Amino acid sequence: MIDGEPAFRRICEAVEGARFSVWLTVAFLWPAFEMPDGRGSAWDVLDRAAAGGIDVRLICWRPDEETAWLRRNAFWGSPEHINLLNQRRSGVKIRWDRAHPGFCQHQKCWLIDAGAESETAFVGGINLNPHSMVTPAHHGEGHNHDVFVELAGPSTVDVCHNFIQRWNEASELLAKDGCWGAGSTANLPFPSRLPPERGSAVVQIQRTMHAGRYGDSQASPGGMSFNIASGEVSNLHQYCTAINAASRSIYIENQYVDVPEIVDCLRGALQRGVEVVLLMPAQPDVSLPVPAARRAFLEARMTLGTYPNFLLAGIAGLGADGHRKLIYVHAKVMLVDDEWATVGSCNLHRFSLFGNGEMNAAFSEPDTVRAFRCELFREHLDQDTFGLDDRAALHLFRESARSNRRRFEAGDHTWQGHAFELDLATYLG
């Protein structure tokens, strides 16, 4: 599900069709966020479900003093937030959960009818952010581009296990303001059986968890490995393994590519002749002046741009004035060889790979991954690439992005699609 309006429309349909439960993990929730099609706020959607007898639970991140600047868009249990819940007479159950100091509980997943055969999960990176409530056409300003994936079948039990593990061991459980709602102080039993198989794609859930969080030793029936003394870094391992295994193509969308481990893997893939396209925010978050250690990393990353089989690109849509407006790439996506893909909340920086609470879903099935690639490229290139293999499609992406860059530099906003080439030599994000 590409971009917020289609994604949240489908999530709302699932919530409205829930028979037993709706559980979600929340990193950020903007006060101005509204669900699509006149459904109202996220609270309107969730309270309607709770009023209908559905067990609605949220785990919300509570920033610490080191991350206090992020409280403005987090539902962290402030007096104002509690007053809102009281005014609404909300029927949801909430637990607040801190991360390791300086890090974030960054997961964004929805779980419908946990434990039932019809259990459905949504895993991705889209915050409850009005800038994300957009269509793939991206007509306007201030847009985010992002992705969710819907899961059914045995893989959902790992999403369920993650939620219960976090619910039962939420850091604020014993704090006087650590829970909300009738029944929110009760713990949940872990899942004991797998939902039946659905479809042909093989799915695996990855996480990042800082060392010391979630010490419960009960294993998930889906096979996830929890309670690693040094922390859980399966997102990092999965990204590196997939890049190192690539033989044809790598397509990445990410808010950041900011650790040497990933850059080194990409350099190795380029040296093997793998086609690599990297889509990032065209206007990155930059802190100036750049420290010496940071400059050394940027210079090492800059060498990726010396390979002819590499492209760094951004995206921009048309505003009401007919001029191009930058689209912020918030997605965390990678596709390899048109056979394997991952979607989730994990940025490729040290926070997401080594300390935040993160979740990704990786899936392997050529028809599914190819269809995903074609849908992404239809948005970014405004072209159908179904008749092209992965390498030819990435060649087309490169040609289109370079053509659009030349038009952009000439002041011509009549592009095809949204993608345009960026200069890695001057990119500081």
pLDDT tens digits for range 410-423 = 999 999 999 999 99
pLDDT higher than 50, residue 226: no
**Model pLDDT, residue 219:** 52
Give the Å distances, CA to CA, from 35 to 27, 130, 132, 414: 17, 9, 11, 32
Residues 31 and 42: their CA atoms lie apart, in Å, by 10
385 in Cβ contact with 370 (< 8 Å): no
CATH number for the 4-183 domain, one of 3.20.190.10, 3.30.870.10, 3.40.640.10, 3.90.1200.10?
A: 3.30.870.10
pLDDT higher than 70, residue 221: no
Mean pLDDT in residue range 154-177: 96
Tell me whether domains 4-183 and 235-426 share a fold: yes
Tell me which amino acid residue 399 is: E
Of 30, 1, 103, the C-alpha closest to 358 is 103
Residues 21 and 44: their CA atoms lie apart, in Å, by 16
In tens, the pLDDT along 231-287 reads: 899 999 999 999 999 999 999 999 999 999 999 999 999 999 999 999 999 998 877
pLDDT higher than 60, residue 135: yes
Residues 214 and 357: their CA atoms lie apart, in Å, by 11
Of 238, 24, 3, the C-alpha closest to 123 is 24
In tens, the pLDDT along 329-356 reads: 999 999 999 999 999 999 999 999 999 9
Sequence spans of domains, the chain: 4-183, 235-426
The CA-based angle 122-126-130, given to 5 degrees, is 130
Residues 69 and 65: their CA atoms lie apart, in Å, by 8
For residue 105, give the DSSP letter.
B
Give the Å distances, CA to CA, from 149 to 55, 279, 331, 347: 23, 19, 12, 16
Of 313, 18, 330, the C-alpha closest to 148 is 330
Tokens at 369, concatenated: 């991954």
pLDDT higher than 70, residue 201: yes
Mean pLDDT in residue range 197-214: 88
What is 235-426's CATH topology? Endonuclease; Chain A (3.30.870)
Residues 212 and 207: their CA atoms lie apart, in Å, by 14
First to last CA, the chain: 26
pLDDT over 70, % of the chain: 96
**Model pLDDT, residue 92:** 98
Give the residue carrying structure tokens 């950020």: 28
Q: Which residues contact 72 (CB under 8 A, 6 or more apart)?
A: none
Q: How high does pLDDT run on average in the chain?
A: 94
